[in-house]
Amino acid sequence: MQALDTLDKAGYRRGGARRAVVELLGRQNCCLSAQEIFDGLRKARRPVGIASVYRALDALVDLRLVKRVDAGDGIARFEPMSADGEHHHHLVCRDCGKVEAFSDPRLERAIDRVAGGLGYSVDEHEVVLTGACADCA
Ligand SMILES: [Zn+2]
Ligand SMILES: [Zn+2]
Ligand SMILES: [Zn+2]
């Protein structure tokens, strides 16, 4: 994984909290909250204190290895930055709090078109759709 090479170069020791967090996130297709990361590491028998999880996430966001996802519900979630430019957006269920990924090339083209007319050099965008999931609707 490219993120692990970057950590090596940045001088982070193997077995540290940052590495454990990167490895866990690297196995996800989408985002996890800090609490879910904490629980996931415990389950994987690599327990890391919650404060260390938060510190690791801050450092990884600074290194641009991890992206903070704001789903609009006040819970910070995190997902790996994709090295290959894979790009998706999020659906959030207001009832059960589930977050799912979606992507749509038509949406990307529409955003590019709009961005092109705004006079900004736009390099990032966020789209979050909120409502009730299929189970909760
Ligand atoms: Zn995601
Ligand atoms: Zn739901
Ligand atoms: Zn997009």
Distance 13 CA to ligand 3 centre (A): 34
**Structural domain boundaries, residue 47:** 1-81
74 shares a domain with 12 = yes
Nearest-angstrom CA–CA distance, 29 and 13 = 25
102 shares a domain with 63 = no
Amino acid at position 37, single letter: I
Q: How many domains does the chain have?
A: 2
3 shares a domain with 63 = yes
- Number of the ligand closest to the Cα of 115: 3
Distance 71 CA to ligand 1 centre (A): 10
pLDDT of amino acid 15: 65
- Number of the ligand closest to the Cα of 111: 3
**Global pTM?**
0.80
69 shares a domain with 25 = yes
Q: Is the pLDDT of residue 14 over 70?
A: no
68 shares a domain with 20 = yes
- Tokens describing residue 125: 């965008």
Would you list the DSSP string of 33-57? Answer: EHHHHHHHHHHTT----HHHHHHHH
What residues have their beta carbon closer than 5 A to ion ligand 1?
30-31, 79, 101
Select the more confidently predicted residue: 28 or 83.
Answer: 28
**Ramachandran region, residue 30 (left: φ > 0; alpha: ψ -120 to 50; beta: rest):** beta
Amino acid at position 13, single letter: R
Give the residue-averaged pLDDT of 40-44: 95
